[in-house]
Chain A
Amino acid sequence: MTPLHVYCVTDAANAPGPALAGIGAGGVEAVVSNDIAAWVEEVPVRPVATLESLRAHHRVVQAAAAAGPALPARFGTSAEDAEALRESLQEAAAAYRAGLERVRDAVEYGVRIAGGAGTEGAPAAEAARGGDAAAGAGPGRAHLERLRARHRERERRLRDARRLAGELREELGSRLREERVDVDPRTGGTIAHLVAVPDADAWLAAVDKVRRRRPELELVVTGPWPPYSFTPERGGEGQNDD
């Protein structure tokens, strides 16, 4: 049996085109369970995360999201076979249906407070990945100090991001469908917004206004993305980053 790499969950009516290239040579297919489907690819071995494979994964998710509502699967999600995947879809069908409605005709945009990527990004990622791994390396005072400093830094970034999120909310009003504020280990404070497609221009204008008002912040605005940040959480286990 060949394992299936899962790209996303979609409406059953949304099927991948035959020419769509995935992370391997297996071809992207849909596994359907009643009215929902998962876009998958047969992969001989579990794919390794590389910049290339992440890009390829994203391209497939993007193709799905361009044709209808799609819930991106986290990279690395795989099923033993189509039967196992169908059962999995069936088991949580109601959550996926609700999730698809939530993102229908909407896109995600991101606003990130830059200044943490690259140089500080790697150590921050290490800290967020769990003090435990790092703690094994050398439990000393210096190490604890470093962890504390990182924690304080994280708190500071979260405060900054929340404050900015509040300003954006005020500016956007009802054009903002949903919001998610995180401190991402690789990048610092991030705000994800779910925005109805017709509101995208108004969203950009509003963000620009806030950006001009806060020139001291180096903001990176990205989008439109498939709704990576607005997918149903797996019961109790899927909390991110916290």
Chain B
Amino acid sequence: MDDPRDPGPEPAAEHRVRGPIHSPSVAAALHPDALDDPVALVDLVNRVLDRGVVLRGDVTISVAGVDLVELGLALYVASAERARIPRRPGPGGEPPAP
């Protein structure tokens, strides 16, 4: 099983992609291993929750906790965006609908 993309143990916080990740000169993609980067994390949540094959037959799909994920993600992204150089007005203009 030697597997180049296996991230091994849980990536630590320092595994974050640093720097201006939207820089137009970056000739690389954010690697999904950078799961602690809130930007990649949004893409991860989209994929894992909303895509992927749904099996047939006696196989069911049920997900609890999605609201918590949404909430956690929103907080996570919001705090990360505050920490970054503002590219647009920060959160607070319009509060998230309850």
**Given A6-B59, A46-B62: A66 in contact with B51 (beta carbons within 8 A):** no
Give the contacting residue for A119; candidates B59, B60, B91; CB below 8 A: B91
A109 close to chain B: CB less than 8 A: yes
B64 close to chain A: CB less than 8 A: yes
B73 contacts across to A, CB distance below 8 A: 51, 121, 186
Interface positions, chain B 26-67, Cβ under 8 Å from A, are: 26-32, 35, 39-66
A51 contacts across to B, CB distance below 8 A: 41, 45, 69, 72-73, 76
Measured CB to CB, the closest approach of chain B to A14, in angstroms, equals 10
A61 contacts across to B, CB distance below 8 A: 48
On whether the beta carbons of A122 and B70 are closer than 8 Å, the reply is yes
A73 close to chain B: CB less than 8 A: yes
On whether the beta carbons of A62 and B55 are closer than 8 Å, the reply is no
Chain B: interface residue total (CB-CB under 8 A): 65
A80 contacts across to B, CB distance below 8 A: 58
Main secondary structure of the interface of A (DSSP, over half): mixed
**Given A55-B44, A62-B6: A78 in contact with B60 (beta carbons within 8 A):** yes
Give the contacting residue for A49; candidates B3, B54, B68; CB below 8 A: B68
Nearest neighbor of A235 in chain B, beta-carbon distance:
B56
Interface positions, chain B 1-43, Cβ under 8 Å from A, are: 1, 3-7, 10, 21-22, 24-32, 35, 39-43
A119 contacts across to B, CB distance below 8 A: 78, 81, 91, 93-94, 96
A-side residues, CB < 8 A to B, are 6, 8-9, 17, 20, 38, 46, 48-51, 53-55, 57-59, 61-63, 65-67, 71-80, 84-85, 87-89, 91-92, 96, 99, 109-110, 112, 114-115, 117-119, 121-123, 125-126, 184, 186-187, 190, 204-205, 207-208, 211-212, 215, 218-225, 228-229, 231-235, 237-238, 240-241
B-side residues, CB < 8 A to A, are 1, 3-7, 10, 21-22, 24-32, 35, 39-66, 68-74, 76-78, 81, 87-88, 91, 93-94, 96-97
5 residue pairs of the A-B complex, CB under 8 angstroms, read: A46-B62, A61-B48, A73-B52, A76-B63, A85-B59
